[in-house]
Amino acid sequence: MRDSQSSHDPAALGERMARSQDGDAKAYEELLGLVALRIRPYIRSRVRDYDAAEDVVQEVLLSIHRTRATYDPGRPFLPWLWAIVRYRCADHARKLGRLPEVPGNLEDTFQSTHADEDLSGEIESAIKRCLSMLPQKQEQAFTLTTFEGKSIREAAAELQISETATKVTVHRARKSLRKFLREMGYENSGIDP
């Protein structure tokens, strides 16, 4: 089942993940190989240094290994995978001292560039003001999941609330942040409600 069609089929990837959760070592090996092929171009577009990009690819594969028990075979595989990829890219950016890459194209809105340092500082300041306007639980949940790269489960444990409540809290935080940023004149914040 190693034809090119199955490597591009998200359902086939999800099926391999489910089989690997049931102990199928061959399906797991195939899955990791196909995932590496799928994510490598994206990571190389975000991490310009070839060796560092390969390190991030390996970190993603390790994260998949460590968290594979959390994958729900009844849900689509790719959103689960891309969440891991985004968080590993954010970890890499943090190590370099840059703003983290976050879901929903926020990085395009807030990432610092040499040509636009004044605007970047202004945007960072706007983000801090917006975060401070959120209720404390929303600010904490958003920060833990978006900037610190923690999973919903990890954030829920830290906040001492259920995973469902954490998901709802993060959703409400995103919705409020989008509204606040729009009111401040940042129309295309990239925060999905």
Predicted confidence (pLDDT) per residue in 3-15, tens digit = 444 556 778 889 9
CATH number for domain 106-183, candidates 1.10.10.10, 3.40.50.2000, 3.30.930.10, 3.50.50.60: 1.10.10.10
More confident residue, 106 or 36: 36
- Give the Cα separation of 191 and 142 in Å (integer): 12
Predicted model pTM = 0.49
- Residue 112 pLDDT: 34
- On the question of pLDDT at 165 being above 80, the answer is yes
Q: Please tell us whether the domain made up of 4-95 is placed in CATH 3.40.640.10.
A: no
SS3 per-residue string spanning 39-108: HHHHHHHHCCCHHHHHHHHHHHHHHHHHHHHHCCCCCCHHHHHHHHHHHHHHHHHHHCCCCCCCCCCHHH
- Domain ranges across the chain: 4-95, 106-183
pLDDT at 71 over 80: yes
Angle, nearest 10°, between helix axes 10-21 and 77-95?
90
Equal CATH topology for 4-95 and 106-183: no
What confidence tens digit (pLDDT) does each residue in 169-187 have?
989 988 888 887 777 766 5
Q: How far apart are CA 112 and CA 181, in angstroms?
A: 17
Nearest to 138 by CA among 106, 101, 166: 166
pLDDT tens string 12-43: 889 999 999 999 999 999 999 999 998 998 88
Instruction: Determine how many CB atoms are found less than 10 A away from the CB of residue 175.
Output: 14
Question: Where does the pLDDT of residue 96 fall: very low under 50, low under 70, confident under 90, or very high at 90 and above?
Answer: confident
Average pLDDT value for residue range 49-63:
92
Q: Is the pLDDT of residue 91 over 70?
A: yes
